[in-house]
Structure 1
Amino acid sequence: MPVAYSYVRFSTPEQAKGDSLRRQRELSENYALRNGLTLDTTLTFHDLGISAFKGSNVERGRLGAFLEACDTSLVAPGSYLLVESLDRLSRETVMDAFDLFRSILKKQINIVTLTDNRVYSSRTTEMTDLIISLTVMSRAHEESLTKSKRQRAAWSNKRANIGTKKLTARCPLWMKLNDARTEFEFIPDRVELVKEIIALAKNGCGQAIIAKMLNERGTPAFSGNVKGWWPSYIQKILTSKQLHGEFQPGITKDGRTIANGEPIEDYYPALITKEEFYSLQAFRSQNYVGGGRARKGSTVPNVLSGLLQCGYCNGPMTISGAAAKRIKTSVGDVMRPPKKVLVCDAARRGMGCYAVQWGFNDFETSFMSFARGIDLDSLLADLPKDSGLPAPIKLEDKVRAIDEELIDIQKKIERLLDLVMEGNTPASVNSRIAKLESEKNNAETTREKLLIEIQQRKDSGTDSQELARATKSLIEQMNNVGDEDRFRVRAALSAQLRRFIESVKLYPAGRLVSAEFIANMRTSLIEQDFSEDRIDKYLESFQTEPKRQGRGNRGRYASRKDIARLFTITTKNGGVRVVSPNFDDPTIAVVELGFGDDK
């Protein structure tokens, strides 16, 4: 018994709510039953909501999959393709539609149109049937073409009257169209949430962290999705130009929405200014906060993430778990609580450095003590006036925002120039290019003025004072807020530290020198007529590798009280402080200027 396959198609998703799908299925089932065909239900060839006007159902739809199944003999020659009408197969131009029609017949597949029970076959189709098929194809294309023209005219009319009536009710989910369809209105509670998301992003929180925070506190997603917030939607909100009121008209081409015409400014009510939007994009592109993998409900694990380096190999320092000392609980049980340590990543992976650990809490306590005290003020205050310190922060953010805007403008200019190269472009394209060039020149002029103002502020010395004040304020806040607020404060502090710190290098085994340094020093002392015993005793104070904990060379490297561990802080202009914490009390430290390279 021959096998029949049903092909169902309709153009818009709205038609799925009607009777189209049921009607087309029922026609196929009845025809197969009346004509002794086996209707295959294992292979489904349905293009629901896909247009055939430009061949999308072949290029990316299930009709294309049916043709491929014919080529691979998954659908055998002699089978039947059941369609409601030929316009379900194609609404392209007559010649394109007829080529598709012929290609199916040449694969030895019979086409049945269910509205008139007509069968088309490569062997038996007569001239009358071909004329009828061409007539149907021509009418289908003309109908779609006319509909397309009417839709474009309707949209053009809507765009022309955009000042009095909005194009569509579609809008960002933090607003809605009013009853008169003249203005969009904010939804207050959603607007407050979007503002919070923006603030979190500006404080250094990544999209994954923000989504996690909203889900943990049970904040409903705008979409109503019971699965909550997703990082991708947070990203969509933060990068949407609808935040500053811009609307980009679009058209659907090959199943994708593409820009059609120039963006419309102030179409939506603005939540932030255009400058603030580009500043947000610039800030996020700097990736001030690394990772974004905070533990549930607590804090940013490492406010110096991405800044910590091993002082011996310059590789990254990572947080790792380590065995802590056993302690007795109040009920007499012996337990070993978890402990976080900083360790060289290269050493941890067996790449040749020293796996000397530094307790994370001890290190952070020492760093915060340094940053909280007068040492941070002095480090920032004694910077050379011609240093590259980014200051003031707000002005620098404006410069980065303009850089982002300039990139955006250049992309628009390049797209328009591509249209000019294709030819037959309207005069409006040239005028638009001229307007964009003017915007570009204005932005570049503003950028130059900001750079001059930044330098003037830097010379006045007010920048370092503001940096120190803001950093200390965040450190003080950490001890006076709850868990959720502490998370935000630590994220903000992490972002702040990245503004002026280039690196923090750890020397958990103290200062080490190379064998070459020892040899050169010995030669120098011999030339100065020092005795061998005195030279040996002096050189014993220098270490070429970390001391071990345990017996001989088999003991593991350990951060010991007698090795004077230290860390250095280097600012973006090269200013350096050496901090040597007290081993027993990490809040106490000796701070020195500079750090000579004796290796």
Structure 2
Amino acid sequence: MENQSTPKVYSYIRISTGKQREGDGLRRQTEDIDYEKIAKSLDLPLDNELKLVDEGFSGFTGENRTKGALGYFETLINDGKIAEGSVLVIEMLDRLTRQALLEAVHLMTGILLKGVGIYTAADKQYYTKDTFDVGQLVLSAIILQTGHEESLKKTIRGRANWRVKREKSEKGEEKLSKICPLWLEPVTNKNGKTISFKIKKDIAAEVRMMFQLKLEGLGNKRIADRLTRNWPPSTIQRYIHDRRVLGEYQPHSKQSGKRKEIGNKIINYYPPIVEKELFEAVQEHILDWKERHGYHVGRNGSNGVHSNVFVKIVKCGECGSAMHYDNKGDTSKGGKYLRCYSAKRALKDENGNRICRARSVRYQDFFELFFKYIEEVDLSKFINDKDELKKQISENELKISAEKFRVRQLEDQVSNLIDTISTTRNKVVRNKLELKIEKIIEEQTDLSKVINNLNLELYSLRNESKKLKSSQKEITKAREYLETATSEEEKINRRKKLHQLIGNVVNGVEIYPRKEPYVRNMPIDEPGVIVHMESRYIKKFKVIFNTKERNNTIVTLKRYRVPIKEM
């Protein structure tokens, strides 16, 4: 907006809630006030360009100043773009603000001191820098304080009413409001109050289907293609994580323009439409997919793709917390680090003591040490010896044979019972025999699951050694392949592959950062020899392998005795 040399009349309208729009508040400030007439009485032109309307911004919290049109108008005044002698017309002073008295008076006098007058249409008061006196000061203070107290009372009453409603809701007597998800509709009593919610069966069935299809591995677009209704993939994505399907409700309030959770969630507030087991299985499936495809669960890189190939793998050896990737930039004091979450956040235990004080570890330092170890280690040492392996395989084969024999016995029992039923005319006996068959079939199903699990375990035992050694070779190749990548996209894809391969071999790594000061070259009492520390940041790290017994090894980084002439 250009600087205005001619003073003008500006109108300002504020409605803080939807009720004011639907009710009398908006009409009073638009239809009942003749801004043209006021402008003529002040002998100034009415500005029709600047639309100063704050809808949904509270005067009590000051949102109209921090986020709304009034704040913009204040900026224009301070920047000299509103000419001195201009006038701001409002319905009443409480439309300007309902903040505490000191802040409210400061706002009003601040506008006046910049040479802009304030005209209130309801009581026809005209405030200017030159005419503002004790009488107007007292009058404006009373009006502003009254407005603040009214809003304060409403806020207190509203919170009290909300607490009462919440208590009734938790007892199942009444719902907090009629608002509910798309798959539900409110049920009201004779007083018009919502007492429960009714499931819309057709929509609820589709939402359930979203979870089932997601568990089968389908993406949101493919899920949308399978459903009857025209669901946007973004809606499917939102519903998949929406705990309201379990019947939960988390109350929120708007604070500083943002929705924030208040209190604990209410269980069984809505009728559930998805089983908890299915919901949790889908969440686990999503997290597993992200990890397998190289996507972080947290902030480890741009566009959700991690720069850290050890994400969800490395932990702090001192306290067991996750170690997060921390990129401090490319400055002299920057760099990329792995840092203990508890140490970074200075988390404390129940006695108020720091949980962990572990130092950060240079990412590249650990990267080099880890791959040097993985490429050289003999993995056969961490796999059960051949005799033990043969014993485990033999035991599994024996268990499988025993379970299969039991299944055959059950099949014979079912066959005999069917023959008995065919020759029995007594309905009571037939019903009892049919119930017995059902129980046997259930037992057969359980046994089949046991056999499948035993077969999987047997396959794993037979292939554990081959799988680990194969993955070890692939890790070496993938690391070399990563170093030859040129474009950022290529690097990201290769990091994802490397992360996946590490996960095939390693279940986890515990890093123990160095505590003592680092001295790169330390002379000792031996002529011509010094001690050289292998790592500046790491004392040792523990690698837990993906073997059946979760075998592990500790790699202690040593001090090397090196002749001075080689340094």
TM-score where L is the length of structure 1: 0.47
Q: Which of the pair has the greater relative contact order for Cα pairs under 8 Å at 6+ separation?
A: 1
**TM-score scaled by length of structure 2:** 0.49
